[in-house]
Amino acid sequence: MPKQETVASKKRRGPAPTGKGVPIMVRLQPDMLAGVDQFVAEHDVSRPEAVRMIIRDWLIRHQVLKAE
């Protein structure tokens, strides 16, 4: 019988999925995506987490969301 290979799963970046929340699809123009990618590089987070952080910051600064 042939030897089976073991596949190690890669560790995912960002927070663990909760299954909560509403997924949305957003298209970004190249200039905005470059800004998000710069944020990603500076903060070592995934693109989705970067977008969540940017939106949360904007909502707090505009008093739409209370700071935690």
Domain that holds residue 47: 30-62
Q: What is the pTM of this model?
A: 0.70
pLDDT digits (tens, 9 = 90+) for 14-55: 667 778 889 999 999 999 999 999 999 999 999 999 999 999
DSSP assignment string, the chain: -PPPPP-PPPPPPSSPP-S-S--------HHHHHHHHHHHHHHT--HHHHHHHHHHHHHHHTTSS---
In a domain, 51, yes or no: yes
Query: In total, how many domains does the chain have?
Result: 1
In a domain, 40, yes or no: yes
In a domain, 20, yes or no: no
